[in-house]
């Protein structure tokens, strides 16, 4: 798994081979200079001190400065181009992750907390970035440096080189053992940081509830417990990272001690000159630095692989709903909708059972009933947020599963009970229903939703930024912007899931009048807890336990003395005007 994951990380970098090539060449230059420097120690010492060559002695400082100047430039080119290549590769990964997640169905989002998904997009991808950067930097620069120095070592004395070489496999083995544990801990710690992000998302978006129920101490303790759990995994990863360097240093010290003992003896016996021994010793000391760096990079790459596994899980996730092989295109539907023997189960639990209904163009179908009856699920099947378990949903007589999903979505406008607005201007929030809409069309939609007047009172009118989730607007104002957004889409099928639930009485009356005109020649499905808003519906369907238990007009259902009649009596008891909120 780790090899394939690492290969995928590298694959994302191939697109930027030009930057990587420059970085690689610069890495080679840095690495070979280390070997060249170690090799030149012997002739420089011999010619300078053995022959008292003052010319070389004079030029030596200039040569050292020139060498390190070239090395510094090479190192800059290496770092700059590999880091920018890594950043671009990470950007591609993050874009692919977000793109694929946007094509996944609602079931996926119900199974994955928002904070966990945010953590994968932000935190996990950032961890991967360090791994991508270390691929070329470590393998090329430190790799070439180690190879060139090893060449010098073997050239000077193969006997001493064997002593040096013995400890290198030991350092590699130690790094692999430690790296595996770091990889495992990395994945676990990233899961915990996802839990932290989930709590942040919940508490910040639900701060009003936290304040209203005096939950500050409780959420603080919950956050502290979660961060402590995250720390426990990070602490273990830090422990293994921290122990890596000392272990490698202890192993290399064995090699250095052995070389000093054996090499010193060879110099004393005249088998090796002091200049050659010093050159060897320089190369040996220098070689352990890139080896140590390679081991450290291995740990970083293992951490990246742990994070990458979580990222690629989302990238590899297949959409539950896709276009049929020979999907049919549709421009604009007439709006006829039919449910034929439809049943639906969610994770094995039956939600809808044997639903049969038909709605013609221009009809208003109202759905009422107790909470959990399946009303929202039923309307969610029309735009294919979910697929039916059995039966068929048809639009204009065509099974919606045979239509192109993008075309089907264009036939449906939605006003949900959750007023979801974006941190953008009022005009843009309305225009999300139709990006090609002109300013006059945006204004017309706002007027139809009775939002125009309060928009003009805003500081910058239609250009006013409404903040995160429309926080600068009242509940009724947010709902009317959502209605305007649905209206500008001008779809033949309209779904309203408790669309007027957040409106005050005056606003509800204005919006209801607008909707009466705008629902003409559109097939409208209305879920409502206020029965007063659906009195003039063409057909009222009463759902209970996933079944349609009653169907008819308002007057017909009142006469039947069934569930609808009982719900009506509860809402209009005593004075006949007081409304008791009935959960839908």
Segment 247-270, tens digit of pLDDT: 767 777 777 777 778 777 887 887
What residues make up the domain containing 247? 2-187+242-315
Residue 207 lies in a domain: no
DSSP tag of 415:
E
Calculate ∠ Cα 106-109-115, nearest 5°.
Answer: 155
Provide the pLDDT for residue 401.
Answer: 93
Residue 112 lies in a domain: yes
Diameter over CA atoms, the chain: 121
Provide the pLDDT for residue 577.
Answer: 44
pLDDT tens-digit profile of 422-455?
A: 888 999 989 988 888 899 999 988 888 888 988 9
Section 560-579 average pLDDT: 67
Residue 391 lies in a domain: no
pLDDT tens-digit profile of 200-233?
A: 777 776 776 677 667 788 888 888 888 888 788 7
pLDDT at 191 over 80: no
Section 376-382 average pLDDT: 91
Side-chain half-sphere exposure of 209, counting CA atoms within 13 A: 7
Residue 99 lies in a domain: yes
Calculate ∠ Cα 256-260-262, nearest 5°.
Answer: 115
Calculate ∠ Cα 418-421-425, nearest 5°.
Answer: 160
- With beta carbons less than 8 A apart as the criterion, state whether 376 and 409 touch: no
Provide the pLDDT for residue 341.
Answer: 94
Residue 196 lies in a domain: no
Residue 108 lies in a domain: yes
- With beta carbons less than 8 A apart as the criterion, state whether 538 and 550 touch: no
Provide the pLDDT for residue 337.
Answer: 93
pLDDT at 327 over 80: yes
As a whole-number percent, the residues of the chain with pLDDT over 90 amount to 12
Where residue 524 falls (left for φ over 0; alpha for ψ -120 to 50; beta otherwise) is beta
pLDDT at 272 over 80: no
Provide the CATH number for the domain around residue 177.
1.20.1560.10
Better-scored residue on pLDDT, 104 or 516: 104
How does the average pLDDT of the chain come out, rounded?
A: 79
How does residue 343 score in pLDDT terms, banded at 50, 70 and 90? very high
Better-scored residue on pLDDT, 167 or 462: 462
Provide the pLDDT for residue 570.
Answer: 78
Residue 414 lies in a domain: no
Of the given ranges (66-70, 241-245, 260-264, 421-425), which has the lowest mean pLDDT?
Answer: 241-245
Better-scored residue on pLDDT, 492 or 57: 492
Tell the residue number behind the tokens 């399946």, with chain if given.
374
pLDDT at 413 over 70: yes
Most confident of 281-285, 295-299, 341-345: 341-345
Section 50-73 average pLDDT: 71
Provide the pLDDT for residue 35.
Answer: 64
In angstroms, the CA 379 to CA 498 distance is 12
Provide the pLDDT for residue 584.
Answer: 37
How does residue 362 score in pLDDT terms, banded at 50, 70 and 90? confident
Section 26-32 average pLDDT: 75
Number of compact structural domains in the chain: 1
Residue 231 lies in a domain: no
Long-range contacts of the stretch 345-353 (C-beta < 8 A, 24+): 345/389, 346/107, 346/377, 346/386, 350/546, 351/377, 351/546, 352/377, 352/378, 352/381, 352/546, 352/547, 353/545, 353/546, 353/547
């Amino acid at each position: 798994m780790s090899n394939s994951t690492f290969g995928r990380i590298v694959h994302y970098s191939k697109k930027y081979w030009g930057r990587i090539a420059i970085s690689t060449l610069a890495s080679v230059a840095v690495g070979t200079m280390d070997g060249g420097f170690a090799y030149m120690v012997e002739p420089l010492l011999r010619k300078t001190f053995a022959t008292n060559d003052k010319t070389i002695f004079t030029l030596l400082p200039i040569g050292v400065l020139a060498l390190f100047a070239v090395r510094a430039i090479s190192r800059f080119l290496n770092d700059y181009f590999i880091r920018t290549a890594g950043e671009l590769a990470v950007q591609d990964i993050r874009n692919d992750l977000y793109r694929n997640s946007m094509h996944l169905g609602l079931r996926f989002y119900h199974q994955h907390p928002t904070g966990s998904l945010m953590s994968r997009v932000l935190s996990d991808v950032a961890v991967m970035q360090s791994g991508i950067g270390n691929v070329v930097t470590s393998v090329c620069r430190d790799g070439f440096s180690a190879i060139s120095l090893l060449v010098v070592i073997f050239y000077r004395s193969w006997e001493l080189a064997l002593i040096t070489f013995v400890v290198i496999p030991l350092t590699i083995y130690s790094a692999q053992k430690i790296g595996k544990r770091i990889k495992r801990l990395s994945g676990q710690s990233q899961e915990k940081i996802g839990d932290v992000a989930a709590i942040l998302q919940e508490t910040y978006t639900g701060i009003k509830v936290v304040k209203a129920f005096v939950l500050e101490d409780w959420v603080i303790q919950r956050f502290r417990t979660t961060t402590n759990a995250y720390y426990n995994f990070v602490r273990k990863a830090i422990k293994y990272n921290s122990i890596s360097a000392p272990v490698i240093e202890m192993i290399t010290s064995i090699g250095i001690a052995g070389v000093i003992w054996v090499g010193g003896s060879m110099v004393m016996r005249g088998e090796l000159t002091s200049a050659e021994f010093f050159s060897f010793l320089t190369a040996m000391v220098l070689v352990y630095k890139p080896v140590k760096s390679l081991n450290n990079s291995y740990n970083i790459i293992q951490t990246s692989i742990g994070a990458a596994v979580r990222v690629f899980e989302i990238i590899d996730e297949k959409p539950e709903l896709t276009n049929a092989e020979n999907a049919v295109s549709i421009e604009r539907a007439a709006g006829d909708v039919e449910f034929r023997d439809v049943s639906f189960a969610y994770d094995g639990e039956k939600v809808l059972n044997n639903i049969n209904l038909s709605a013609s163009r221009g009809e208003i179908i109202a759905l009422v009933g107790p909470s959990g009856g399946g009303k929202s699920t039923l309307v969610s099947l029309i735009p294919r947020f979910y697929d039916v378990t059995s039966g068929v949903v048809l639009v204009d007589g065509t099974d919606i599963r045979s239509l192109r999903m993008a075309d089907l979505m264009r036939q449906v406008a939605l006003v949900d009970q959750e007023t979801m607005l974006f941190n953008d201007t009022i005009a843009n929030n309305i225009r999300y229903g139709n990006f090609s809409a002109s300013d006059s069309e945006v204004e017309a939609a706002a007027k139809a939703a009775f939002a125009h007047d309060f928009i003009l009172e805003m500081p910058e009118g239609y250009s006013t930024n409404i903040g995160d989730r429309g926080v600068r607007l009242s509940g009724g104002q947010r709902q009317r912007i959502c209605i305007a957004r649905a209206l500008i889409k001008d779809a033949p099928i309209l779904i309203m899931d408790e669309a007027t639930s957040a409106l005050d009485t005056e606003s509800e009356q204005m919006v209801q009048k607008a909707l009466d005109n705008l629902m003409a020649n559109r097939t409208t499905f209305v879920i409502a807890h206020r029965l007063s808003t659906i009195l003039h519906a063409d057909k009222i369907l009463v759902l209970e336990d996933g079944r349609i238990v009653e169907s008819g007009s308002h007057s017909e259902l009142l006469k039947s003395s069934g569930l609808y009649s009982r719900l009506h009596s509860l809402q209009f008891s005593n004075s006949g005007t007081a409304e008791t909120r009935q959960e839908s």
